[in-house]
Structure 1
């Protein structure tokens, strides 16, 4: 069966801008979607990218303009300077992994809830209370923030290795077989590839 491998980070503003669109495309195409959180700092280090703090000031300024433009275009609010950025994305990533492995809730709602917490609601997604709230709101057992910790910690670095092997160098990134799509602004190409009219 065709599957979309969705590499993401819950601390990424571009994952926030992606919203629920990947899940909507997958549903329209009748394909599965696999959420694969990765450590963006480690991914950049492994694939030649630079973390935000190391980028030239002109690149940082352009990033802010682009985020504001996409926020307006998509009608998706964003606080360009959130109170808790950067935060450690690992605990939220572990929760995403544990929720996916356990099932029973809405994965798209969980991912968007976590990114919304950071980029709209001024909440720290490294805090257990925030993660539990997002799990519960998406229909998952909030106890996964504890019970899924070991499973998440085991799969999280494995996702990174798979990402590097799969040619992934940033987030959000989508793979369907050999076809690669980097960035939330490439979702129309992903939809077209899967025969979904947008």
Structure 2
């Protein structure tokens, strides 16, 4: 499940919408996540990597943007985009269909809060690409998936203002990505913004 928001992200439809993609194979990004999570679980008593990771972030309390009873939003330490975030459930959850009613309500609250903070950052309709990754289904549904943890990722391109975006060019294309600000400072800026009041007023 993915969503692109804003013309700068190539979004051709101005209204909010998302896409659901399904393939008969595990795409590259999901395959990397699968192998890394599986390797971590094998080395750590079958504990899911992202379950351990969210506990580590909660203990450190440096990169958390928002949290409620069921969800934690962080700027991950490996973030490449300036205000990249990851949204994780507190308990071990494989797929969206495994969420209980409280987690569904908590997810709605978390999404509303995060997207409001994004818009408030530069007082604009904040562009991003986002998506959910969960345990594979289809032919892999009957296989071992306990190493997986459901999570959402947000990749927004804006850097310093509503009109200045980060470009992946030069060294970043030929060598490796570079950060323009630390994950901790990005998290602090987002955390300080209101998540319950939109800069444009009541949008309901």
| TM-score normalised to structure 1 length | 0.30
- Structure number with the bigger relative contact order (C-alpha 8 A, sep ≥ 6) is 1
Q: Greater helix share, 1 or 2?
A: 1
Q: Which has the higher strand share?
A: 2
Q: TM-score, normalised by structure 2?
A: 0.30
When Rg is computed on C-alpha atoms for both structures, the one with the higher figure is: 2
